[in-house]
Structure 1
Amino acid sequence: MTGSDEGATVNQTAIITGGTGGMGLEVARIMGRDHRVVIADLDQRRLDTSVAELTGLGVDAEAVVCDVTDQASVDNLFARGAQSGPVRAVVHTAGVSPQMGAADTIVRVNALGTVNVTEASLAAAADGFALVNVASLAGHLVPGVLVPTRTFKLALTDTNRFAAKLTAAAGRVPKSRRPGVAYSLSKSFVIWYSEEMAQRFGAKGARILTVSPGTFDTAMGRLEEKSGSGKLVEYAALTRYGKPEEIAELLAFCASDRPGYLTGTDILCDGGTRAGLSLKGMIALARDTS
């Protein structure tokens, strides 16, 4: 179970963005044991298929088409989620990888989308609420001196300027590398921003944290093999791709009421990749994927 075994209440709702993806759907299966789940994605057909699968497992599931880059769309998602009971947890897995779009698209979906979901979550937050934002190992691989913290801070006051400047930061490298840099910067931002928002959530008795997956055997993970995800496995302590259900168990646990003192931090789940990746290895990897 994702919550305490006693007193589990199915009238509580968990929202999972990217709910038709490999990680998101697995999270919905787990959290659906003691929550009503609302899965969100852009594709109605995929949503319908996923809801049918969840319903077949006995999960009370609903689908909502949502564009996380549009605050109104996100607000609608949360309004729909609250119709049958309080929204107690949100797992934000929606995102795009370097092979899925240009730098500006990656920044808008991964970074601005996280701001929109986090703001809506804060508005819905109450005692016991939890938001888990999915970051990435890539966010840990940005050298500290290159992390544009000043640009990150703009997300707190001017989201349009923030998105423009973060995209511009990714544009300082050759065109072929811009999506990868935008991805790393956007995920570094997700970690920074979630830590920055912890006190605001804490004032409501709520939690916010990030989980940073390494290389996992999902459609997105396999898509990124040629941009370095497959090569990263060679540096891991566990020299294999992670399984979607493995990261989903962690995400669901973090969103449950069990780790009630866990907030304002990031959990890296990468099979020991970061531990085995030396500076020399990082340079070699950059050359192989440039």
Structure 2
Amino acid sequence: MQNVIVITGGAGGMGTATAKVVGTDHKVVLADVRTDRLDAAAAELAGLGVDVTAVHCDVTDRAAVADLFDRAAGLGTLSAVIHTAGVSPSMGDAEYVMRTNALGTLYVDEVFHDTAGAGSAVVNVASMAAYLVPEELLPIAQYALALTDESTFLTEMLTACEVVPEDMRSGVAYAVSKAFVRWYSSAQAERFNTRGQRIVSVSPGSIDTEMGRLEEQAGAAAMVTDAAVPRWGTPQEMAELLAFCASSRAGYLTGTDILNDGGVVASMRERARVAAQAG
């Protein structure tokens, strides 16, 4: 049976770009909540010769996620999920951001864990924002609640966002939710390995996609200008990395995060160090 890769957020820039890379030797199940854009992306991929199946899926609905993986498993051997689905601060309030990014990741990964076999891999998309938020603002001690008490977990995450005025909370929710993705992708590595599975996360910087550009006026443009590589990343650059992480070539890679941000975090930290010394 042919190997199958599920790509959530498949109608987005990174998702579609990644499908073009992995679609050369895998069946692709493309999932997204936006039906019209999903159909257009699937048609584009089919035109390139990719064996693609489009599935409408809201990752915040665990039953829908279960149906997604049931369909994928029926098409062949489920080898990986590349979870690019997520929302940025400009796309909704703090609760919407937290539900989509944190609980959406939990649902996708947990259902994959229970469905896929040995040799499979989860690749989650986190964010460089998880590196930039002060650690004291992160409710790390409460992250494990996601596995036992989702309601309390969500309450604790949103409470952590209340340190800033309401109009800034979606931004904090984004950073906190993506830090959770990093934590989960590390903390659950040993558990996933009991089923012969790998789990990693990748943290993009400012990527030239529709969602990435939504944050251009909110500070992303300034960070790009001050980065070691002073430009926006391309969806293709992210796609190649995501595809590698999902492949057997990365068979020893698990429980870690790869920061792919053009040196934004490195540059900011070094400038802060120099400024502190000068002061």
TM-score (norm 1): 0.92
Q: CA deviation at 1:104?
A: 0.2
The letter for the 1-side match of 2:253 is L
Residue in structure 2 matched with residue 287 of structure 1 by the alignment: none
For residue 56 of structure 1, the aligned residue among 37, 40, 47 is 47
Residue in structure 1 matched with residue 182 of structure 2 by the alignment: 191
Q: Percent identity?
A: 53
Q: 1:69 & 1:261 partners in 2: Cα distance?
A: 30
RMSD: 1.5
The letter for the 1-side match of 2:195 is K
Residue in structure 2 matched with residue 232 of structure 1 by the alignment: 223
**CA offsets per residue over residues 2-51 of structure 1, 9 Å max, x none?**
xxxxxxx7x11000000010000001111101110001111211111111
**CA offsets per residue over residues 162-199 of structure 1, 9 Å max, x none?**
11210121122111210100000000000001111101
SS in 2 for 1:278: helix
The letter for the 1-side match of 2:3 is Q
Q: Structure 2 unaligned segments of length 5 or more: list them.
A: 274-279
Residue in structure 1 matched with residue 17 of structure 2 by the alignment: 26
Q: CA deviation at 1:125?
A: 2.8
CA contact (8 A) 1:125 1:201 kept: no
Residue in structure 1 matched with residue 195 of structure 2 by the alignment: 204
Q: CA deviation at 1:235?
A: 2.2
SS in 1 for 2:252: coil
Q: How many positions carry a matched residue from both structures?
A: 274
Q: 1:128 & 1:153 partners in 2: Cα distance?
A: 25
Q: 1:142 & 1:152 partners in 2: Cα distance?
A: 16
Q: 1:53 & 1:143 partners in 2: Cα distance?
A: 41
Q: CA deviation at 1:279?
A: 7.9
Q: 1:210 & 1:28 partners in 2: Cα distance?
A: 17
Q: 2:74 & 2:147 partners in 1: Cα distance?
A: 29
**CA offsets per residue over residues 84-117 of structure 1, 9 Å max, x none?**
1121110000000000000000000000000000
Q: Structure 1 unaligned segments of length 5 or more: list them.
A: 1-8, 283-290
Q: CA deviation at 1:247?
A: 0.6
TM-score (norm 2): 0.95
Residue in structure 2 matched with residue 70 of structure 1 by the alignment: 61
Q: CA deviation at 1:280?
A: 6.6
Residue in structure 2 matched with residue 5 of structure 1 by the alignment: none
For residue 265 of structure 1, the aligned residue among 256, 260, 263 is 256
